A and B are shown apart, each in its own frame.
Chain A
């Protein structure tokens, strides 16, 4: 199960809508071993594509360097699908390389850049195996738990 704050979910959706029709991508880092997404880090999609995303290589290096310095790990790795459902594609599955992360997908196919209902789902991807997991969304004031 992914437990995540509402404001972080909102930021993922907002990023996806802003970058639509290209795919948006990013990470939410959290303290190592905590499984708690805390620090929202939107990344540039170096592919600038509606069907592909990739972190820029230099950005990727700095991201991991910063996380290491902060004793953090990527708790959530998110990206958007802009014409298909929020389910990992074959490429997503083949390239997934953080077995401890929650892979969050959001689809903007219904609303594009506009507000409205969204589809956001979370998965574990380990050794090519996808398993969807429930998402428990918390308000900011319930942070303490």
Chain B
């Protein structure tokens, strides 16, 4: 079972330039672990010790996972995951 993950420009250095890749797992946490196994280093750009990084947004279909169950959000192969860095500054 594989779920599509859309990767932003800034993280395509990990995916060989691919805009979208697939990953396997029943939850977002598992998907990110699987991504990191296939594209080493990408996990550290998404997670820190407290979970999803503050300025990284992850969407399940069109919903921010922060409004779902965060890293515990259930994922199926019919879903699409989109990663977008926050556009923010001071």
Contacts and interface: CB of A to CB of B under 8 A. Distances in A.
Contacts of B89: 52-53, 79, 88-89, 91-92, 95-96
Contacts of B88: 47, 52-55, 91, 95
Contacts of B59: 61
Contacts of B87: 25, 27, 43, 54-55, 60, 77, 97-98
A100 B8 CA distance: 12
Contacts, number: 64
Contacts of A58: 64
B10 interface: yes
Interface stretch (B31-39, B68-76, B78-86): B78-86
A55 B66 CA distance: 15
Interface string A42-68: 010001000111110110110011000
B9 A60 contact: no
A99 B12 CA distance: 12
Q: Size band of the B side of the interface?
A: 10 to 19
Contacts of A96: 89
A61 B85 contact: no
A25 B86 CA distance: 13
Given A89-B89, A89-B90, A97-B87, A57 B9 contact: no
Contacts of A53: 88-90
Interface in B50-71: 55, 57, 59, 62, 64, 66
Interface string A67-81: 000000000010100
Contacts of A89: 89-90
B66 A57 contact: yes
B62 A95 contact: no
Contacts of B64: 57-58, 61
Contact of A97 (B8, B62, B82, B90): B8
Contacts of B90: 51-53, 89-92
B57 A95 contact: no
B9 A61 contact: no
Given A57-B86, A97-B86, 6 more contacts: A55-B87, A60-B87, A61-B64, A61-B82, A77-B87, A95-B88
